[in-house]
Structure 1
Amino acid sequence: MKTSTDRRRFLRLTMAGIIGITLGDQILQRKALASEELPHLAEDDAQATALQYTHKSPHEENHCGNCMLIQGNEGDEWRPCSIFPGKAVNVNGWCSAWTAKPA
């Protein structure tokens, strides 16, 4: 009997933790989107370097402005990106994580 109770308690706590993490992440994303002035991502940032981020896309057709990972308000020059949390990327920029928006 004790094993069954322990298993249920474990599952209940695990699910509560997953829900908490998910909701916490959504709240942080909303705060990031609501923030008008996120720091701009520097090209020499470690994560930016790893993903070959540049403020000016080397590809005519592919840039942050038409990537499905960009967030924020359409028309803003610097916008949040889900790949670089807490930083804003230039809509004319590009990184190797670029993914086309679905049509």
Structure 2
Amino acid sequence: MKEQDVSRRKFLKAGAAGLVAVPVAGLGWTTTAAAGGHGDRLDESDPAAQALQYVHNTANPAQNCANCLLYNDPSQTEWGPCAVFPGKLVSANGWCTAWVARG
């Protein structure tokens, strides 16, 4: 066998392992946030929060994070994960401009 063939085989094996590792690593991050109580609470002064006008306590109780489609775990009654702010927990009583009614 040529030296190039061996190197290419090693490269392809490493690439395949890397492709498998990325989604597996992502599962760990999302399950940690979805577990509730784990992860950092979103701060209203966070640039992403400010861009979407996020507040911890909404003025309109009919529209809050707990009844938003993007709130990933509706069983979390105080702080929970949100698809808009990955790795952060939002207040169930919060609101932002990305709010979508849960169907």
Same fold at TM > 0.5: yes
Cα drift, residue 66 of structure 1: 0.1
1:74 and 1:54 mapped to 2: Cα distance?
20
- Taking the aligned partners of 2:94 and 2:101, their CA distance within structure 1 comes to 14
Query: Residues of 2 paired with 1:96 and 1:26: CA distance?
Result: 27
SS in structure 1 opposite 2:40? coil
Structure 1 alignment gaps of length 5 or more: 1-12
Judge conservation of contact 2:64–2:93 (CA < 8 Å) in 1: yes
SS at match of 1:85: coil
Instruction: Kindly provide the amino acid, as one letter, of the partner of residue 29 in structure 2.
Output: L
1:35 is displaced (CA, Å) by 5.5
AA aligned to 2:69 is M
Figure out how many residues of one structure are paired with residues of the other and give that number.
91
In structure 2, relative to structure 1, the CA distance for the partners of 1:20 and 1:68 (3 Å cut) is: farther
| RMSD of Structure 2 on Structure 1 (CA) | 2.5
Looking at structure 2, the residues matched to 74 and 35 of structure 1 have their Cα atoms a distance apart, in angstroms, of 9
TM-score (norm 2): 0.70
Measured against aligned partners, the alpha-carbon deviations of 1:40-72 in whole angstroms (never above 9, x if no partner) come to 111110000000000111223111010011123
Is 1:43 the counterpart of 2:44? The answer is yes
1:1-103 alignment runs, 5 A limit: 17=19, 24-34=25-35, 36-72=37-73, 74-102=75-103
TM-score, with length taken from structure 1: 0.70
Q: Secondary structure at the match of 1:84?
A: coil
- Counting aligned pairs with the same residue, the percent is 36
Query: Aligned partners of 1:85 and 1:35: how far apart in 2?
Result: 13
Q: Which runs of 4+ in 1 moved over 4 A?
A: 19-24
